[in-house]
Amino acid sequence: FGLAQIHQLRGRVGRSHHRAYAYLITPPRAAMTADAVKRLEALESLEELGAGFTLATHDLEIRGAGELLGDEQSGQIEQIGFNLYMELLERAVAALKAGKQPDLERPLDAGPEIELHVPALIPEDYVPDVHLRLTLYKRIAGIVSTEDLDEMKAELIDRFGPLPPYAAALLRIARLRLRAASLGVRKIDAGAASGYLVFEEQNAVDPKRVLKLIQGKPQAYRFDGPLKLRFSHNERGEEQLFARIERLLDDLA
């Protein structure tokens, strides 16, 4: 059976107030193919109402989608995965729409790197299911607007309760990443007493604002090369560090 067939079979068991059970017998795991194991794991992890679409996505990732310009039912997507394939496709389509030749050799942009050396994660006791946690991480990493981030925060609180500190830090870092991306900041690294920002070659930061920072507080800011701005601080605690980075980005905006 394929993944969709087993899901349909499982959905046909029991109706209305009639309770029924489906027992699916499989060979020993060692005798199954890697794809078969992935399909069973997908079935085990998704049991809630409306899981059909998510299962279909898993199936697409496992077997690969058909070629867009051919008649094969599985193409190169099988080799690199559904999400990476779609990202490459979107980048190529955007380049063609702009009248440019797609540069497929250029590394994919994962967005700004934010490293504040603080715990930022979804705790296991907050979201026990590991597959669901991975899905949430993926959704948070793919957020492209503050509105989407606010909706994600509201959804987490609605589904799982008040945010624990580590999860709140994760969302706050995601917000910093959005702000950094809008300014053209490639990386932010901040530790206990100092840190630095690395700018993209093409960025939206007004050089006059940077010079104003350096001239106003030469003991706190200095350039380290053409694209790296180093800074020092005396903040103590995670909340103060987050606030310090947020103020710095505000000063550069």
The whole-number mean pLDDT for each consecutive block of 10 residues of the chain, a chain of 253 residues, reads: 74 72 82 82 69 66 57 55 71 83 68 88 90 88 90 93 94 94 91 88 88 89 90 85 91 87
Q: Are residues 243 and 120 in the same domain?
A: yes
Strand order in the sheet with 221-223: 113-115, 185-190, 194-199, 228-232, 221-223
DSSP three-state, residue 186: strand
Q: Are residues 126 and 193 in the same domain?
A: yes
* Per-residue pLDDT, 166: 93
CATH of the domain at 233: 3.90.1150.50
Total domains in the fold of the chain: 2
Q: Are residues 144 and 42 in the same domain?
A: no
* Per-residue pLDDT, 168: 95
* CB distance 88 to 109 below 8 Å: no
Find the helix or strand (DSSP H, E) in which 194 lies: strand 194-199
* Per-residue pLDDT, 34: 82
* Per-residue pLDDT, 156: 94
* Residue 130 forms part of a structural domain: yes
- Rounded to an integer, what distance in angstroms lies between the CA atom of residue 66 and that of residue 199? 40
* CB distance 194 to 231 below 8 Å: yes
* Residue 107 forms part of a structural domain: no
Q: Are residues 41 and 121 in the same domain?
A: no
* CB distance 66 to 78 below 8 Å: no
Q: Are residues 120 and 59 in the same domain?
A: no
CB atoms inside a 10 Å sphere around CB 253: 12
- Rounded to an integer, what distance in angstroms lies between the CA atom of residue 34 and that of residue 37? 5
Q: Are residues 189 and 130 in the same domain?
A: yes
Q: Are residues 123 and 228 in the same domain?
A: yes
Give the residue from 43, 63, 83 where a domain finishes.
63
* Residue 14 forms part of a structural domain: yes
Q: Are residues 125 and 247 in the same domain?
A: yes
Residue type, 94: A
Domain of 26, in residue numbers: 3-63
Strand partners, 198: 187, 228
* Residue 222 forms part of a structural domain: yes
* Residue 89 forms part of a structural domain: no
- Rounded to an integer, what distance in angstroms lies between the CA atom of residue 113 and that of residue 121? 16
Q: Are residues 35 and 157 in the same domain?
A: no
* Residue 100 forms part of a structural domain: no
* Residue 201 forms part of a structural domain: yes
- Rounded to an integer, what distance in angstroms lies between the CA atom of residue 80 and that of residue 67? 14
- Rounded to an integer, what distance in angstroms lies between the CA atom of residue 210 and that of residue 176? 19
Give the residue from 63, 87, 103 where a domain finishes.
63
* Residue 71 forms part of a structural domain: no
* Per-residue pLDDT, 53: 64
Q: Are residues 127 and 238 in the same domain?
A: yes
* Per-residue pLDDT, 129: 87
Q: Are residues 125 and 53 in the same domain?
A: no
pTM of model > 0.85:
no
Q: Are residues 128 and 57 in the same domain?
A: no
